[in-house]
Amino acid sequence: MADLHIPDSLLVKNYVDGNENALSTLIKRHESKIYGFIYSKIADRDISNDIFQDTFIKVIKTLKNNSYNEEGKFLPWVMRISHNLIVDHFRKTKKMPMYRETEEFSIFSIMSDDSLTIESKMICDQVEVDLKKLIQELPDDQKEVLIMRMYQDMSFKEISEITGVSINTALGRMRYALMNLRKIIDKHQIILTN
């Protein structure tokens, strides 16, 4: 084959001068080495094909732009481009890892959607409404402590300071509030949970 005797530098020159066949020869000559190099890093055929394609798109654009300085190092230049694209690929996948589902592995085995369904949300909202109504039935001092503790997230120290009672009194009122709530729920046979 005559092509084997034409050095890369001459093929590059011919291509830049408009000979499209020169590109075909260059690709055929080096495709195994370049693709093999990419695949050895990526280990995925499809992605390796994409990177190979992107590599040569850059090569073509640079050559057509006359921006390539021929120094007899065509293959190292192309390998460098592919290497940089491989690095870009790993940077991108590191930020946004993509999991492909296979028979052995399902992403949903380690990642689940914990958010409530519409039905669960409606039940939750209804329970909240019912609970607030029940709390209104408590004596004022117990209601006050319970609301401060459960809805305003205050510590018993803060509750005692604001209400002007000791911490022990505040704790006692909370305890009675919960006991009385349970009694009200039992008395009216209310079901608050699903």
Partner 1 sequence: MAKIYSKRTLVNKNLKPKKEVISFLLNYSQALNVVKIDDKSFEIIAN
Closer of 32 and 193 to partner 1 (Cβ): 32
* Token pair recorded at residue 84: 């940089």
Per CB under 8 A, does 72 bind partner 1?
A: no
> Helices 45-64 and 8-16: crossing angle, nearest 10°?
60
Residue 17 sits in the site that holds partner 1 (CB under 8 A): no
Largest CA distance in the chain: 102
- Using CB under 8 A, pick the residue from 4, 5, 20, 109 that binds partner 1: 20
Q: Name the DSSP class of 138.
A: S
Q: Would you count residue 74 as binding partner 1 (CB under 8 A)?
A: no
The size of the interface with partner 1 (CB under 8 A), counted in residues, is 22
61, 91, 133, 157: residue in contact with partner 1 (rule CB under 8 A): 61
CB atoms within 10 A of CB 129: 9
The residue ranges that bind partner 1 (CB under 8 A) are 20, 23-24, 27, 31-32, 35-36, 39-40, 43, 48-49, 52-53, 56-57, 60-61, 64-66
